[in-house]
Chains A and B, each alone.
Chain A
Amino acid sequence: QKEVEQDPGPLSVPEGAIVSLNCTYSNSAFQYFMWYRQYSRKGPELLMYTYSSGNKEDGRFTAQVDKSSKYISLFIRDSQPSDSATYLCAMSAILTGGGNKLTFGTGTQLKVEL
């Protein structure tokens, strides 16, 4: 079983739709959960991060973590064409030497159509 699994898509939605992106993981040591957005040929850009189970909201974005099910989600409300990108989930455990080694999902390619 892969450490982090994410449906690669592509996912195509109309403008204004609610988008749901998901990842599952197998490593119980993961403590921190992040969502990154990556535009073509660019570096990942941090969108959301959470530590505990539950919801965290930031504008049109809501991150949800369910540690008991090892399942995380990112919801995008009122999606816009500018949201078209690849969305990467990423997770980390606390390193014994400090620092933060991230394990990424494969990324879900999202296209928001006019």
Chain B
Amino acid sequence: EPEVTQTPSHQVTQMGQEVILRCVPISNHLYFYWYRQILGQKVEFLVSFYNNEISEKSEIFDDQFSVERPDGSNFTLKIRSTKLEDSAMYFCASSQDRDDEKLFFGSGTQLSVL
């Protein structure tokens, strides 16, 4: 069964460093998303991406965050200068098309900012 894959599964970084989280969405899907889950809190929407541009972003997704689809398969989330409060599990998700309510999530990248 096709699945969304994310790498790395764990990332430890120092405050102020840049990190790139990587995702390979399901191959025929056209919409891509990043969500995050701070320990003990809700899963929160960060950004949606379609046709090589951001469709919508939350207020969490400030100038320190960026997304990119550098090739036909990868979808990345970059945090330019990490803060302690960026520590969370980051989930990538994809859906088949714009009217598809079914999102499929990856297993996540646990980001720890020290």
Binding site for B on A (CB under 8 A): 32, 34, 36, 41-46, 49, 51, 88, 90, 92, 95, 97-107
Contact = CB atoms under 8 A, between A and B. Distances in A.
Chain B interface, >50% SS class: strand
B56 A101 contact: yes
Given A100-B31, A101-B48, A46 B103 contact: yes
Contacts of B106: 43
B44 A98 contact: no
B65 interface: no
Contacts, number: 73
A107 B41 CA distance: 9
A99 B48 contact: yes
Interface stretch (B70-78, B79-87, B91-99): B91-99
Interface string B16-58: 0000000000000001010100000111110010100001100
A100 B103 contact: yes
Interface residues of B, number: 29
Given A95-B56, A99-B55, A104-B42, A43 B103 contact: no
A98 B99 contact: yes
B43 A100 contact: no
A101 B102 CA distance: 11
B45 A99 contact: no
Contacts of B103: 46, 100, 102
Contacts of A106: 41-42
